[in-house]
């Protein structure tokens, strides 16, 4: 089983992914705050290279789910400098697999389109999107310079998988279920190589609207939604 450092383990996303990863990997959970479910977490601030470097010792892979969205100074420190620290620590430790995360960077420019897949990112002017875009560039440079296989998941919204018929609500085109995200992370951790050492993937579970395509993720990672979740929104009709 691979040893995986999970940074941001107590944040908005990672706690929901841990149950789907624990059976397959030895996880070292790290964050600046306690885990919401009381899991043991080592204190690591990604803005401190010494802390990231120490936490990465003995790891086979690093997953970076840290983020700061709203504070102008801290968003740069966490999102950009934090990504730099992760990649630098991976290079110095000889770690060859990094999973990076960021927000979707396409809907503001391509929201009117359909069949959108691997298009140029459009981060806009808000510091959260800009800093995350810069973090991707940092990861790309390090991945190519040090032969680190880096997968970047671009995300918008999460929902639990429906378990019964849904009425009175529609589904958004850029939503991924927790189960699908767990599955995508496992695929990313287990794949040997990706083209160019760095690849980013828009993540979605709801494909019926035809807005976001998963062709690239399927072709490279082998990812497809585990279940056709649109079925829960269908209505019976009578002739």
Domain presence at residue 156:
yes
Q: For the chain, give the secondary structure using H, E and C.
A: CCEEEEECCCCCCHHHHHHHHCCCCEEEEEECCCCCCCCCCEECCCCCHHHHHHHCCCCCEEEECCCCCCCHHHHHHHHHHHHHHHHHHHHHHCCCEEEEEEECCCHHHHCCCCCECCCCCCCCCCHHHHHHHHHHHHHHHHHHHHCCEEEEEEECEEECCCCCCCCCCCCCCCEEEHHHHHHHHHHHHHCCCCHHHEEEEECCCCCCCCCECCHHHHHHCCCCCCCCHHHHHCCCCCC
- What CA–CA distance (Å, rounded) separates 235 from 223? 28
Q: What is the pLDDT along the chain (239 residues), one digit of tens a residue?
A: 899 999 999 999 999 999 999 999 999 999 999 999 999 999 999 999 999 999 999 999 999 999 998 888 899 999 999 999 999 999 999 999 999 999 998 888 888 889 888 888 888 888 999 999 999 999 999 999 999 999 999 999 898 888 888 888 887 778 999 999 999 999 999 999 999 999 999 999 988 888 888 999 999 999 999 998 888 888 777 76
Range of the domain at 175: 3-233
Let me know if residue 238 belongs to a domain.
no
Tell me if 239 is assigned to some domain: no
In a domain, 107, yes or no: yes
Judge whether 41 lies within some domain.
Answer: yes
In this structure, what CATH number is given to the domain that contains residue 201?
Answer: 3.40.50.720
- Does residue 21 form part of some domain? yes
What is residue 221's predicted lDDT score, i.e. its pLDDT? 97
Instruction: Decide if 24 is inside a domain.
Output: yes
Domain count, the chain: 1
Q: Is residue 123 assigned to a domain?
A: yes
Per-residue pLDDT at 97: 98
> Residue 204 has what pLDDT?
92
- State residue 180's pLDDT score: 96
């Amino acid at each position: 089983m691979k040893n995986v450092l999970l940074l941001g383990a107590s944040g908005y996303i990672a706690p929901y992914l841990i149950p789907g990863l624990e059976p397959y990997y030895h996880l070292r959970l790290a964050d600046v705050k306690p885990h919401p479910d009381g899991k043991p977490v080592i204190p690591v601030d990604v803005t401190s290279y010494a802390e990231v470097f120490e936490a990465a010792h003995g790891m086979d892979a690093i997953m970076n789910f840290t983020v700061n969205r709203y504070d102008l100074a801290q968003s740069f420190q966490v999102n950009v400098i934090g990504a730099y620290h992760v990649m630098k620590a991976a290079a110095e430790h000889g770690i060859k697999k990094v999973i990076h995360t960021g927000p979707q960077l396409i809907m503001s420019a391509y929201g009117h389109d359909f069949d959108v897949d691997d298009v140029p990112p459009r981060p806009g002017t808000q510091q959260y999107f800009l800093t995350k875009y810069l973090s991707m560039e940092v990861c790309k440079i390090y991945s190519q310079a040090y032969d680190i296989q880096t997968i970047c998941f671009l995300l918008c919204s999460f929902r639990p998988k429906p378990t019964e018929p849904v009425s009175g609500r529609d589904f958004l085109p850029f939503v991924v279920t927790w189960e699908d995200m767990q599955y995508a992370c496992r695929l990313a951790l287990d794949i040997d190589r990706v083209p160019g050492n760095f690849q980013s993937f828009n993540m979605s579970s709801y494909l019926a609207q035809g807005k976001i395509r998963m062709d690239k993720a399927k072709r490279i990672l082998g990812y497809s939604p585990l279940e056709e979740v649109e079925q829960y929104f269908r209505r019976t009709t009578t002739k």
